[in-house]
């Protein structure tokens, strides 16, 4: 239990170098990661949703991919597809952006239900099946999905099967005036996301995920 708490403290402290004044949100994100869940963030643009995902991925040294959902996206744009190689005479699998460890599904409700469904198997079973072949995802695997709670024109509501796969639904909210000053000061020369270091490894994260199921979270 002590190792899990130390891991969480290191992770949260490092992410807070990028996400200012939102410790409760960072803690909930860490809980999602440790509990093998996924996170749905409902908030307006510009509050740090993408930076939260990037900071988390850099902190654990995981592979980060961002998927910008649009109405014209196809399921293959998420999972990947098989392409015929004329030199070898065989089909080769070209992995989609879901084949990562921290996946940001930006504005997920702008995609059609068919494309949204491409995430169902990945989020539940940690695998994707393309052309009858199953490909296992890396560990840990966390989907941070975002949607705008104000602008609904041109969007598709998330079905219950999709919502059921998210452990939490949260919002970041605007920073306070004091926090905004701190954010501006931190970005005078370069963005903090460029300078934060890796504080743990995906393997350590996976071990803590296994241990966290046997203990309770303490703040």
* Lowest mean pLDDT segment, chosen from 14-23, 63-72, 84-93: 84-93
Q: What is the predicted pLDDT for the residue at 210? A: 63
Give the whole-number percent of the chain exceeding pLDDT 90. 53
Mean pLDDT for the stretch of residues 17-44: 91
Q: What is the pLDDT of residue 13?
A: 92
Average pLDDT over residues 6-35: 91
Provide the 10 A C-beta neighbour count for residue 144: 27
pLDDT of residue 204: 86
User: Is pLDDT of 54 > 50?
Assistant: yes
For the segment 66-95, the average pLDDT, to the nearest whole number, is 90
**What confidence tens digit (pLDDT) does each residue in 1-18 have?**
567 888 889 999 999 999
Q: Is the dihedral of CA 134, 138, 140, 144 positive or negative?
A: negative
What CATH topology corresponds to 2-212?
Answer: Rossmann fold (3.40.50)
Query: Would you list the domain boundaries of the chain?
Result: 2-212
Q: What distance in Å separates the CA atoms of residue 111 and residue 156, rounded to the nearest whole number?
A: 7
Measured in residues, the chain has a length of 219
């Amino acid at each position: 239990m002590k190792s899990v708490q130390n891991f969480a403290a290191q992770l949260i402290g490092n992410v807070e170098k990028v996400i200012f004044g939102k410790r409760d949100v960072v803690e909930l994100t860490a809980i999602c990661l440790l509990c093998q869940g996924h996170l749905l963030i409902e908030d307006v643009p510009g509050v740090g949703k993408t930076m939260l995902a990037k900071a988390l991925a850099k902190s654990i040294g995981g592979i980060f991919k961002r998927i910008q959902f649009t109405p014209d996206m196809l399921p293959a744009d998420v999972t990947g597809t098989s392409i015929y190689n004329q030199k070898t005479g065989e089909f080769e699998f070209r992995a989609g952006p879901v084949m990562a460890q921290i996946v940001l599904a930006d504005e997920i409700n702008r995609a059609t239900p068919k494309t949204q469904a491409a995430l169902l198997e990945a989020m539940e079973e940690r695998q994707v099946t393309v052309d009858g072949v199953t490909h296992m995802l890396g560990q840990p695997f966390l989907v941070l999905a975002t949607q705008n709670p104000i602008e609904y024109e041109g969007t598709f509501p998330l079905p219950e099967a999709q919502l059921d796969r998210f452990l939490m639904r949260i919002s970041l909210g605007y920073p306070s005036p004091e926090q905004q000053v701190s954010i501006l000061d931190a970005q005078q020369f370069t963005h903090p996301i460029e300078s934060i270091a890796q504080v743990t490894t995906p393997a350590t994260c996976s071990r803590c995920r296994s241990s966290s199921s046997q203990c309770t979270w303490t703040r």
